Amino acid sequence: EVQLVESGGGLVQPGRSLKLSCAASGFTFSNYGMAWVRQTPTKGLEWVASISTGGGNTYYRDSVKGRFTISRDNAKNTQYLQMDSLRSEDTATYYCARQRGRYYFDYWGQGVMVTVSS
């Protein structure tokens, strides 16, 4: 059974950093691209970033470029999202997702809440 379990969320002040982790199991992690997608009641679902199978290629939405870094450790079956210079508009539930093909997301984690507020 495919499982994606996020951790690392919480309350953080604007301008500070937070690192999310996503532990994967139930499939050959190194064979799949991975992604982070966030959701808010007002903006809905937003793709944040994706990473290729080996980690050599990364992709970001414009609003997080230069602030967020997606990475993965295939030996640990884990992907990460390092979020720096956080803004209030980054407040959302962040989902880890397995990517299939070109930006389809066929499995999602349960989500982790990130709140950016002073």
| Positions in the binding site for another protein (CB under 8 A) | 44-47, 59, 61-62, 95, 100-111
Interatomic CA distance for residues 117 and 100, integer angstroms:
34
Whole-number minimum distance, CB 47 to another protein, in Å?
5
Whole-number minimum distance, CB 13 to another protein, in Å?
27
Whole-number minimum distance, CB 20 to another protein, in Å?
15
Cβ closest to another protein, residue 16 vs residue 45: 45
Q: Are 108 and 96 in contact (CB under 8 A)?
A: yes
Interatomic CA distance for residues 10 and 91, integer angstroms:
10
